[in-house]
Amino acid sequence: MAFALSSMQLTSSAFTANGAIPTRHTGARDDLSPPLTWQDAPKGTKSFAVICHDPDAPLVQNGIYGFVHWVLYNLPASTTALDENARVGTRGKNDFGKLGYGGPMPPEGHGLHQYYFWVLALDKATGLPEGLKLRDLLTQVEPHLLGMNRLVGTYQRG
């Protein structure tokens, strides 16, 4: 199945769609992953993965533009929310070279960046190992993708 938006809804109690991400969820302060909630997962969903990506970052890595801030997977189908500073699932490697979440931290004076938080619904429970980079995760889950959607937040460093 191709990567396409579905009717699944993704929200956060920390920021609204296209709204500013609070500083506590950025690398400038506490660097805590924001709380996320999703609903209306496609029928047959067995697991989820969550990704945060900044397409505005002035980088080209692995043939794609942007910067990966969060890769999280092996979330069971019963999961419909992540608390702030989530400690569930399996952590992948972000583009900071670390496991788990690394909050927004665009270069000073680089302007407003958009951060895409994605939830992917999969037709298979996954048992993938810790430390996958985004490209490796997508290679593994693409054949099992039932639906996905995103929540976009913004952040600008002073």
CATH (domain of 106)? 3.90.280.10
Q: What is the pLDDT of residues 41-55, one digit of tens each?
A: 999 999 999 999 999
94 alpha carbon, distance to own chain's centre: 10
Among candidate residues 122, 117, 116, 118, the one with its CA nearest the CA of residue 147: 122
Q: Residue 103 domain-assigned? A: yes
Q: Residue 135 domain-assigned? A: yes
Tokens of 76: 């069971």
Report how far residue 48's alpha carbon sits from residue 88's, in angstroms, rounded to the nearest whole number: 12
Report how far residue 143's alpha carbon sits from residue 53's, in angstroms, rounded to the nearest whole number: 21
28 exposure class (CB count in 10 Å sphere: 0-12, 13-18, 19+): middle
Q: What is the pLDDT of residues 102-154, one digit of tens each?
A: 999 988 888 999 999 999 999 999 999 999 999 999 999 999 999 999 999 99
Q: Count H helices, E strands: the chain?
A: 1, 10
99 alpha carbon, distance to own chain's centre: 13
Q: Residue 2 domain-assigned? A: no
Domain residues for the domain of 88 are 10-144
Q: Residue 65 domain-assigned? A: yes
Q: How many domains does the chain have?
A: 1
Q: Residue 52 domain-assigned? A: yes
Q: Residue 95 domain-assigned? A: yes
Q: What is the pLDDT of residues 61-95, one digit of tens each?
A: 655 668 999 999 999 999 999 999 999 999 999 99
Q: Residue 156 domain-assigned? A: no
